[in-house]
Structure 1
Amino acid sequence: MTPKDPGPAYCLNPDCGRPIDRSVGSGRPRHYCNDICGRAYRRVREKHPTPDAVAHDLFALQVADELARGVEHLRGLTRTRQPLAALSLLRLVERDLEDLKAALVQQARDQREKNAEIARSLSLPPDQLTRKLSAEAVRRRMANRRQRPGGGPALPADPEPTAPAPVRIPRQRRPSAGPGATPFRAREPDRRPAGPAAVLARALSQLQRASAKPFRRLAEDTDISASYVSRVLSGERCPSWKITRALTLACGGDPAEIHPLWVTARGRAPSQRGSLHEALRGLHLAAARPATAEVGARSGLNPRAVTGMLDGSTLPAWEDVEELAHALGAEAPPLRPLWNAARAAAAGPPEPGPAHWPALRLPAEVPG
C-alpha cells in the first residue's frame, strides 16, 4: 500500500518557519528542522502555554471545585443520616474523581512530564496509562462534561434533617445571672470546632484565595519553596512566625489577625498584650468571612453584637465569645487570656483600698 502524502510541513520555531522534509525516515514526524530550532520551540512553549494547555488547566480547576462541593454535600447527607441520597451523590463524586484524574494526567503531559513518571504516580503500568488515559480520552471527558446541565453534577441544596431526627443530648443549662441576663443558648453537639492548627491553615488559605496568587508566585515573593507553601496551606506543616508573617503580607493580610492563631497553633497561650477583636477577626477570616447575619443565625447572637465584637467597639461577655468562636468553627478556650486582659483594661486601675494604704506610724507610748 502506498503511504499517503503527509503534505508540506514547516518548522514550528516562530523565528524559522522553513519547510521540513518528512518523506524520509520513520517514527514520529518531525516538527522542526534541527535541534536548535527544537530547543527554541520548547522554550517558547514552556513560557507561553498553548490554548489546549490553558483549556486543560481550566478543566482541572472546574472539576476540582465541583468535586469539593460534592464531597461537602456528601458529608452533610451522611451527618443527617440520608444514606440513599448520599449513595446517589457518591456516584457523581466518583465520576468527578475519574474526570479529575484524567485532567491531572493531561496537565502533567502539558508540562512535559515523562509518561513513566505519571504512571508511577498513579501506581499504573505505563501501557495501561496510555490506553486508559490518552489525550483523546481526556478530550472525550471534557466534551461529555460540557454536555451535562451546568457543566457538572447538579448538587442538592444543603440537606435538612429528615425524620427520624438525630438524637440530640440536651446540655445542662447555666443559671441566669439575674434579670436582663442573656439566656443560655444550647450548642449543637454534632458541630465540632476545628483545632488551632487547622484554623491557622484555613486562615492562610483564605488569604491565598483572596489574593489569587498561585503557589509559585507566593514562593517567589517569600523565598519559600512552592511545595512547603502547599503543605502550610493544607495544614500539613505549622510554620514559624517568620514564614507565617511573610505569607500573610504577601497575600495582603493583617499579621495582627493571624498572630493569635499562630500562637495557639504552636501550643502556646496568646499574650495578654494581644487584641481580642483581632483574634476574633482571625477566626472570622478562617471561616471565610461569613456575613454577620449568618454568624448571628448560627450562634443566636444579634448581628450588631457580632459586628461590635469583630471591630472591637464592644466588650462581650465570655459566653458570647464562646458562642461566636463556636459559630466560626473554632475553639474558644485559647481566647480566654485575651478576654481577661480586655476586661481588666476596661475596668481600669484598681481603686485604692486597705491593701494600698501606706502604713500608719503610731506615736510611741508615753510611760505613765
Structure 2
Amino acid sequence: MAGSIPRYDICRYCKKRFAQTSGPGRKKEYCTKDCRRLAQRERDGRLGQQARAALPLGRRIAEDLQALSAALLEAEYDGRPLEELLRCAADVGREVEYYAAAAVQDARNGGASWDHVADAARISATTARTRWPESRVKERLKRRAAERAAVRQPPVPAVEGPQAPQGTALSQSAERASVKLASALSYLHRASDLTISRVAELTSLSPSYISRILSGERTPTWLVLCALVQLFGGNPEELKTLFESAHGLVAPTRHAVPDAVARLQAALRGLHLAAGRPQVWVVRKAAHGALGTQEISEILDGDMVPGWEQTSALVTALGGWPADVRPLWEAVHYTFLLCVDPEEGPRWPPAADPEST
C-alpha cells in the first residue's frame, strides 16, 4: 500500500511550514519543542505585563495613604492626645514604606533597571536590590493585606429600610460620606425652590432639624431621607449607598451581579449629585483628560460598568475619595469573574481571550 500523503501546517511561532504527524491525538501547533517553549514564554510575559498594567500596586496604596493622611490632619485639628497623633503618624509611615516597595515593583514590572531604581531612590544599585527584591516586596504586601484584613470591620446583615444607630463613632470614611450626603440633599433642596418652613410643613419636621440635616450637622434616618429626597424631586436610591456609608453600615462583601453593579452606580451618581450635578465637560476637565465625555455619560447613565482607572478618575473629579469607593468596585469585579453571560447585563470590561490563557 502506498504511503499516505503527508499533511502540512504552519508553526504558530516561527511561521515555517512543517509536516504534521499522523495518528490519534491532538495535532501539533509548533514545529519543534523549542518553538513551543518560546511561544509559551512570550505568552506568559505578555499576560503578566497586561495584569500588572491593569492594577498598579502603588496606586491602591497611594489611595489608602490619602485617607490615612486625612485622619492624621483631622486628629491634629481636633487637638487629640499625643498617643493618638503618634499612632496616626505611625500608620502613615508604615503605609509610606509599603508604597515605596510597591512603586519600585511597578517600575521593575515596567522594565526599569536596578540602576534606574537606584538613581530615583538616591541609593546604590546593590542597596536597591537588597531592599526591594521581588520576593521581599511580595511578602511585605501579603503582610499589609493581613494587617488590613485584621482591622476591617466585619459585615453586618443588610436590613430592609436601614436605620442607623445614633451616637456611634463614625469612621473617617463615614464622616466623608456624611458630608457628601448633606451636599446632595442641599443641592436637591435648592433645586426644588422650597423654603425650609414649607418643607417643615409638608414633612411634619421642625425647621431647625431640617436645617441641621441640610448643613450636615445631623445625618437623617432612612425614612426621613426618603421623605426629603422625594419632596425635593429626587430619587432616594441614588443616595442609598452614601447613606449606608455615612451611618457606618457595612454591606456583605459579596452580592449578586445586579446588586453589586447597582450599588457602585448609585455611589457614583450620589457623588455626582453631591457635586451639584456638574455638566459632563466640567467633569472631564476635572479628570484632566483621564476620561472622555462619552465615558462619563455612559457611567453616570448606568450604561457602562467602569474599570478601576475610570472609577478612580471619576470619583476624584467629583471630589470623592477613591479608597471609599474601591470596595464597591471590587465587589463588582468579583461578581464579574463569576458571571456566566455578561452580555445579559450592562456593558462590561473586556474579558480575557480564552485562547491566550
Structure (1 or 2) with the greater helix fraction: 2
Q: Do they fold alike, i.e. is TM over 0.5?
A: no
Give the alignment's TM-score, normalised by structure 1. 0.42
| Higher Rg | 1
